[in-house]
Homo-oligomer: A and B are copies of this chain.
Amino acid sequence: MKAEIIAVGTELLLGQIVNTNAQYLSQRLAALGIDVYFQTVVGDNAGRIRSAIETARSRADLLIFTGGLGPTQDDLTKDVLAEYLGRKLVIHEPSLRKIEERLAGNLIRIESNRRQALMIEGSEPLPNEKGMAVGNALTADGTHYILLPGPPVEMQAMFDGPATRWLLRLLGESRPLHSLTLRFAGIGESALEHLLIDLIRGQTDPTIAPYAKEGEVAIRLSTKAADEAEAAAKLEETVRAIERLAGRYLYAKEDVPLEETVVGMLRASGRTAATAESCTGGLIAELITSVPGSSEAFAGGFVVYTNVMKRELLGLPAELLEGPGAPGAISGETAALMAERTLERCGADYALATTGVAGPSPAEGKPPGLVYVALAERGGRTDVHELKLSGGRDGVRLRAAKHALYRLWERMKESMTNF
């Protein structure tokens, strides 16, 4: 079944609100195995709503409307669809009684809210648990229509309850969609696609869709299968094929950011991490502490942006940072010593350090995008990685921070393999 989501509301076209309803319904419909090929937004205008219906009917079997069920004169969805189908609007008595009860006998308000109890003749009423406007579901001339209210709280309750029950009856035998998200770190979208290109091109079930996500890369696998077991088997086979080609970058078989996986591994092993950040300016600490429960896993952090602070807070020797022949603040030597000093000062098991040029201007004669990431481990070795990153100042900072977390993940994975 192919669905189109039609959001009705001039406030969306003016940018006063964002269309979160379309996202919510798209997720729900994907899970039901219903393809969404288009989402449309149209204003509170009868002619244009009618033309949106005509366009959508030419390319979808199921039209789901959100919005335009309210009490005012510019709430037109039911009126326009009823006229389009050549049907009348009739009062849904239980909804009218509910409105009368809620408005406690205020006759003026009851009169102006009466429109919310209207339904298209011959449709199935969809009760509104969170508000007053009744929804509708109906099939006419082979096209299915669902009318939902605009406020997200009302829309979600109505869709997940009575509308989903109506849809499941309609679907009868069709197979639901199963999907799985894989998350990767330490590799860019195009490099990952390059590794997997033959697999992606040669395969249609499950489908393999890479996409970029906040400095990381994800792949979404989707398959239609008769049941859970068949779906799990098909997905698992594709996951194994991907692992053979790009397993060293795969950190999660669910849709979670890298910092969540890293914090989970730290907590599971009872270890802690600390940070010393120059070019990332606190971003690594911010990412780690964005995870609920990270206080057990995060020992503490320094933001040492200037050479003075690198000396004062971390005790780095001046001759490392400045002077003729010195490696300089932006060097692998400095990154390594920042990590080692932080390890000691915070009593942590791991310490990550960054130093580099976020840009836009060069520093110490070194180009924007040059970043050193160091990882020190208590009783273990210190590694330094030189990165050449792109993406402007914000992009360089985000990618450097994610790369540091990737190196910590890699080291923890290594130590789990060794024991």
Which residues of A pack against B, CB within 8 Å? 10-20, 22-30, 36-43, 45, 48, 51-52, 55, 59, 70-74, 102-104, 108-109, 112-113, 129-132, 151, 153, 188-191, 193-194, 197, 200-201, 209-212, 220, 275, 277, 280-286, 288-290, 292, 294-295, 298-306, 308-309, 312-313, 345-347, 358-361, 369, 388, 390-395, 397
Contact = CB atoms under 8 A, between A and B. Distances in A.
A299 to B, nearest CB: 6
Contacts of A10: 209
Contacts of A29: 15
A41 B59 CA distance: 13
A23 B18 contact: yes
Given A18-B23, A220-B14, A299 B306 contact: yes
B37 A220 contact: no
Contacts of A303: 275, 282, 285, 289, 298, 300-303
This chain: how many copies in the complex? 2
Given A22-B41, A40-B40, A151-B212, 20 more contacts: A13-B37, A13-B38, A15-B26, A15-B29, A19-B22, A19-B23, A38-B41, A38-B52, A102-B390, A103-B390, A130-B394, A275-B303, A277-B285, A281-B298, A282-B283, A282-B289, A289-B303, A289-B305, A295-B305, A299-B308
Contact of A298 (B289, B306, B358): B306
Given A40-B39, A190-B112, A393-B290, A345 B313 contact: yes
A115 to B, nearest CB: 9
A188 B11 CA distance: 18
21 contacts: A11-B209, A13-B37, A13-B38, A17-B23, A19-B19, A38-B41, A38-B48, A72-B189, A72-B210, A73-B197, A74-B209, A102-B390, A275-B303, A281-B289, A281-B290, A286-B286, A292-B360, A294-B305, A299-B305, A301-B302, A302-B313
A300 B306 contact: yes
A15 B170 CA distance: 22
B286 A282 contact: yes
Contacts of A26: 12-15
B48 A43 contact: no
A371 to B, nearest CB: 13
A382 to B, nearest CB: 21
Nearest to A367: B104
Contacts of A15: 22-30
A117 to B, nearest CB: 13
A242 to B, nearest CB: 16
Contact of A290 (B19, B73, B397): B397
Contacts of A11: 209, 211, 220
Contacts of A40: 38-41
A347 B209 CA distance: 51
A20 B17 CA distance: 9
Highest count of chain B CB atoms <10 Å: which of A12, A275, A309: A309
Contacts of A73: 193, 197, 200-201
Contacts of A17: 23
Closest 8 CB pairs of A and B: A281-B289, A282-B285, A15-B26, A15-B27, A282-B282, A301-B303, A300-B309, A102-B390
A345 B62 CA distance: 60
A197 B26 CA distance: 36
Contacts of A42: 37-38
Highest count of chain B CB atoms <10 Å: which of A24, A104, A289, A304: A289
Nearest to A5: B41
B39 A12 contact: yes
A313 B28 CA distance: 46
B305 A72 contact: no
